[in-house]
């Protein structure tokens, strides 16, 4: 099978937007590719989390990946910082990337307002390039907002290969097919736990889910000729938690002029609670056994590191490094 690599940052509690944007894709792709999924804790340092926050978030994401259906027997699941070859290759790659290339990255321009002109944030795409090249990834699942970073990774790999021979595989993008879930409180922005009432957290309790869905922004007429962004967003969430048939039924009601927001929200609440129940039960069991979770991460990291060390060694020899 072709090799696939992707990571997920531990930046707090995950929500439905994270699920459809990344985790659901992991679950589907793990049986189609030789898959490597990692918790990108090095990348999270750009936001300067506290020690307690980063450790807790790392194990939260690891447990959530498993609870949502990623199978460590089918995919290699590991923690980025347990494979130090990521940062070593990142330094090597930084010599094959220009300041001008990094300055063109739109995410740096956007996030530097939030985190400041952080060098780690600036060189983030170089580490991302190392993340995928280290395992000779042939495909990388990406959303629209990540295509630019992957294209830079391809450019860096081309530059290294031109200098040292065909050392690394140039990965191709695998565009994720999941729709982007927007904020419940502002459907023009992405769902985010940092905005009050914006998100449906994968670990939210029943009262929180009911409150946030009932307060979700809507327009005045659910039966207008063209559905609003708010209504489209609710339909997207419904499809995630209940499947396409539920959305078809609601859309048919809308076209007949019979759709009511109250009924849609009640259905959405019911289906969301049903969808999250098994995820929350499995997660609770995993997070209560930290030793088992640590062992799971260690086993995945050992396999990942064996491959990473081999590929890094080949690259170092090709470049003339004697270490």
Per-residue confidence (pLDDT) for residue 205, from 0 to 100: 97
Per-residue confidence (pLDDT) for residue 275, from 0 to 100: 98
Distance (Å, rounded) from C-alpha 320 to C-alpha 30? 36
Per-residue confidence (pLDDT) for residue 242, from 0 to 100: 95
User: Residue 209 has which token pair?
Assistant: 């889910």
Per-residue confidence (pLDDT) for residue 115, from 0 to 100: 67
Higher-confidence residue of 91 and 178: namely 91
Backbone angles phi and psi of 184, in degrees to 5: -70, -30
Question: What is the location of CATH 3.40.50.620 in the chain?
Answer: 3-180+290-319
Confidence grade of residue 142 (pLDDT, cut at 50, 70, 90): confident
Confidence grade of residue 44 (pLDDT, cut at 50, 70, 90): very high
Higher-confidence residue of 109 and 233: namely 233
Q: Which residues are catalytic?
A: 111, 190, 193
For a pLDDT cut of 90, what percent of the chain falls above it? 80
Per-residue confidence (pLDDT) for residue 101, from 0 to 100: 95
Under 8 Å CB-to-CB from 65, ≥6 apart: which residues?
8, 23, 26, 37, 39, 77
**Residue 116, pLDDT above cutoff 80:** no
**Residue 16, pLDDT above cutoff 80:** yes
Averaged pLDDT, 74-80: 97
- Give the residue from 175, 114, 104, 115 showing the smallest Cα distance to 145: 175
User: At the fourth CATH level, which superfamily is domain 3-180+290-319?
Assistant: HUPs (3.40.50.620)
Per-residue confidence (pLDDT) for residue 106, from 0 to 100: 83
- Give the residue from 83, 58, 73 showing the smallest Cα distance to 8: 58
Distance (Å, rounded) from C-alpha 45 to C-alpha 247? 39
Instruction: Quick: pLDDT tens for 257-293.
Output: 999 999 999 999 999 999 999 999 999 999 999 999 9
Per-residue confidence (pLDDT) for residue 299, from 0 to 100: 97
Q: Which pTM value belongs to this model?
A: 0.91
Per-residue confidence (pLDDT) for residue 11, from 0 to 100: 87
| Among 113-117, 157-161, 233-237, the range of highest mean pLDDT | 157-161
Which stretch of 12-21, 47-56, 67-76, 171-180 has the lowest confidence by average pLDDT?
Answer: 171-180
Instruction: Quick: pLDDT tens for 167-223.
Output: 999 999 998 766 688 999 999 898 988 888 899 999 999 999 999 999 999 887 778
Per-residue confidence (pLDDT) for residue 179, from 0 to 100: 66
Instruction: Quick: pLDDT tens for 96-107.
Output: 999 999 989 887
Per-residue confidence (pLDDT) for residue 113, from 0 to 100: 67
């Amino acid at each position: 099978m072709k090799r696939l690599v992707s990571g997920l940052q531990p930046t707090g509690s995950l929500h439905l937007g994270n699920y459809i944007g990344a985790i659901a894709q992991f679950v589907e792709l793990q049986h189609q590719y030789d898959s490597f999924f990692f918790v990108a804790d090095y990348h999270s340092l750009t936001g300067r989390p506290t020690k307690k926050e980063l450790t807790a978030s790392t194990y939260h994401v690891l447990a959530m990946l498993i609870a949502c259906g990623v199978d460590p027997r089918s995919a290699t699941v590991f923690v980025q910082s347990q494979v130090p070859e990521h940062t070593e290759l990142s330094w090597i790659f930084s010599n094959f990337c220009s300041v001008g290339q990094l300055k063109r990255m739109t995410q740096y321009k956007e996030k530097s307002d939030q985190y400041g002109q952080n060098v780690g944030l600036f060189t983030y795409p170089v580490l991302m390039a190392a993340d995928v090249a280290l395992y000779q990834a042939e495909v990388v699942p990406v959303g629209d907002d990540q295509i630019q970073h992957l294209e830079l990774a391809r450019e860096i790999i081309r530059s290294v290969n031109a200098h040292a021979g065909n050392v690394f595989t140039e990965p191709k993008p695998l565009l994720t097919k999941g729709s982007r879930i927007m904020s419940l409180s502002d459907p023009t922005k992405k769902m985010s736990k940092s905005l009050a009432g914006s998100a449906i957290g994968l670990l939210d309790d029943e009262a929180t889910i009911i409150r946030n869905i009932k307060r979700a922004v809507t327009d005045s007429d659910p039966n207008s000729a063209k559905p609003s962004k708010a209504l489209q967003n609710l339909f997207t969430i419904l499809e995630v938690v209940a499947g396409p048939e539920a959305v078809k039924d609601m859309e048919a009601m809308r076209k007949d002029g019979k759709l009511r927001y109250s009924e849609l929200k009640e259905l959405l609440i019911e289906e969301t609670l049903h969808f999250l129940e098994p995820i929350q039960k499995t997660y609770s069991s995993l997070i209560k056994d930290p030793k088992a979770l640590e062992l799971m991460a260690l086993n995945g990291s050992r396999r990942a590191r064996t491959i990473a060390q081999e590929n890094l060694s080949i690259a170092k020899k090709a470049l003339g490094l004697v270490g």
